[in-house]
Amino acid sequence: MQNNRFHIITYGCQMNEYDSAAVSEMFLRKGWVSVPENEADVIIVNTCAVRQNAENRALGRLLTLAGTYPESRVGIIGCVAQEIGKKLLEKYPKIAFAVGPGEIHRLPEIIAGFDRSAHLDVDCLDGKGLRAEIKSGSVKAFIAISRGCENFCSYCIVPYVRGKLRGRPMSDIIEEIKRDIDLYVVEITLLGQNVNSYIDPETGADFAELLEKVDAIDGLRRIRFVTNHPKDMSERVIEAISCLPHVCESIHLPVQSGSSKILKLMNRGYSREKYLDIVRKIREKMPDIALTTDIITGFPGEADEDFQDTVTLYREVGYAGAFAFRYSPRPGTAASNMIDDVPEKLKIERLTAIIDMSQKFAEKFSKSLIGKNRKILVEGESAKNPGMVFGLDRAGRKVILPGKKDLRGQIVNVIIDRAEKWFLFGTKI
């Protein structure tokens, strides 16, 4: 009987996507084969615990798969594994393994050994030596530059499930990028819960220096990075972003709330004024930068005037895009001990107001690009638009233009002639 066919399902953020690609690469190197779920000997569900509904969705899928494929070994990795993996193994005999994000490098040996104990040493991995699978033909790749987070924002479960902040050695990051370039990748996104607090454990280099070194790699055309913490957005980092030719003009700078009172309760380490000051400094150097953000509505204690502060801050910054979430209490976090006093209905009302506003501003940003010449990295053919290709401009907006797949991997100049909220249409010049 064959016993080396695997299938991975991924929930959660780009770090989870990276981890799944790294797990895949480890298995492929050992001669395993990636197959659809109904043919797999081993099914791995990579999970997210950031909000209760994210957790429920991943757990629901895990249990359904375990019920549907009793002959396969179905197991859980990722942030929910770290949070409750032990309990899950006790409660559900059909779950074959639970491995946290700190031990994914051991997954092949754990699975090969039919080891059913929980593997939850959260700080054990710094990412050195991990390589993510690159899908053939891909022009973009993610690179993890650090693991974990120790900011302990009061609502957030990430520090508990991903452990302390550990920078990955810069030499190792650069090696993985060079390998990707050999596989035709031309754009990379540096990943971390807090990229701008990066420190190289070997040389002490900071994020600005890492950007400089990566920018100088031969063959790399574009660099992006997520996520930044406003409190660590130093002038050195702003300077590096504005000066380095391959670093794209877009910054995801999650604000979470526009109210200094709520920011304090969230333990974010900056006030409304400080955040706006950082935005001003960024715009002084890069007037055309696309800023995007994350916002939480209905955090404990959020009064109407606090929410209005978020609305006015949003207008003042004029974000090109935003992810908005309603507050979800997470076990073990400081905020889970606060009274969750904003009624669900109001959380949703506020969330809807932010989403409406984000769509208006997204459209405004997109329309401001009509008539402009944008540089697009073509990724491939547009599935919905025959005879067209698509790619992103440096701000991160999707652009659709007439063309064939031979343009893939090229950076082309495009004049924008039509704009929707989240994408643009243009013509190559």
Terminal alpha carbon distance of the chain: 57
In the bound state with ligand SF4, the residue whose beta carbon lies nearer, of 248 and 253, is: 253
Q: Which residues contact 388 (CB under 8 A, 6 or more apart)?
A: 381, 382, 400, 401, 402, 403
CB 111 within 8 A of CB 97: yes
Q: Which residues sit opposite 73 in a β-bridge?
A: 42
CA 228 – CA 145 distance, rounded (Å): 13
Count of other CB atoms within 10 angstroms of residue 3: 10
* Interacting residue with ligand SAH among 118, 251, 296, 376 (CB under 6 A): 296
The smaller minimum CB distance to ligand SAH, of residues 262 and 296, is found at 296
The partner in contact with residue 159, picked from ligand F3S, ligand SAH, ligand SF4, none with C-beta cut-offs of 5 to 8 angstroms by kind, is ligand SF4
Backbone angles phi, psi at 74, to 5 degrees: -110, 125
Please, what is the minimum distance in Å from the beta carbon of residue 321 to ligand F3S?
A: 18
Rg of the Cα atoms in the chain: 22
255-284 positions binding ligand SAH, by CB under 6 A? 256
Binding mask 10-39 for ligand F3S (x = CB under 6 A): --xx-xx-----------------------
| Binding to ligand F3S, residues 127-166 (CB under 6 A) | 157-158, 161-162
Instruction: Provide the minimum distance between the beta carbon of 194 and ligand SF4 in the complex, in angstroms, as a whole number.
Output: 5
Name which of ligand SAH, ligand SF4, ligand F3S, none residue 49 binds, using a CB cut-off of 5 to 8 Å depending on partner kind. Answer: ligand F3S
Residue 60 host element (H or E): helix 52-68
C-alpha span between 187 and 182 (Å, rounded)? 12
Distance CA 189, CA 271 (A): 28
15 binds, among ligand F3S, ligand SF4, ligand SAH, none (CB under 5 to 8 A by kind): ligand F3S
Contact 58/48 with Cβ under 8 angstroms? yes
Q: Which does 327 bind (CB under 5 to 8 A by kind): ligand SF4, ligand SAH, ligand F3S, none?
A: ligand SAH
Binding of ligand SAH at residue 193 (CB under 6 A)?
A: yes
Residue 391 partner contact from ligand F3S, ligand SAH, ligand SF4, none using kind-dependent CB cut-offs of 5 to 8 Å: none
Q: Say what angle helices 79-91 and 52-68 make with each other, to 10 degrees.
A: 50
Report the distance separating Cα 369 and Cα 375, nearest Å: 12
**Residue 347's binding partner out of ligand SF4, ligand F3S, ligand SAH, none, with CB under 5 to 8 Å set by partner kind:** none
- 50 part of the interface to ligand F3S, by CB under 6 A: yes
Relative orientation angle of helices 272-285 and 304-317, to the nearest 10 degrees? 10
Q: Which amino acid, one-letter code, is at 186?
A: V
**Half-sphere CA count of 75, side-chain side, radius 13 A:** 26
Smaller CB distance to ligand F3S: residue 15 or 84? 15
Task: Please report, as ranges, the residues that interact with ligand SF4 according to CB under 6 A.
Answer: 149, 151-153, 156, 158-159, 193-194, 229
> Which tokens belong to 352?
């809807």
Instruction: Count CB-CB contacts under 10 A for residue 327.
Output: 22
Q: 142 has which bridge partners? A: 189
Residue from 21, 43, 48, 424 touching ligand F3S (CB under 6 A): that is: 48
Is the separation of the CB atoms in 119 and 113 below 8 Å? no
Binding mask 323-362 for ligand SAH (x = CB under 6 A): --x-xx-x--------------------------------
Nearer to ligand SF4, 48 or 149 (CB): 149
Per partner kind, with CB cut-offs from 5 to 8 A, the member of ligand SAH, ligand F3S, ligand SF4, none near residue 152 is ligand SF4
Interface with ligand SAH in residues 112-171 (CB under 6 A) = 149, 155-156, 158
> Given the rule CB under 6 A, which residues bind ligand SAH?
50-51, 149, 155-156, 158, 193-194, 227, 229, 254, 256, 294, 296, 325, 327-328, 330
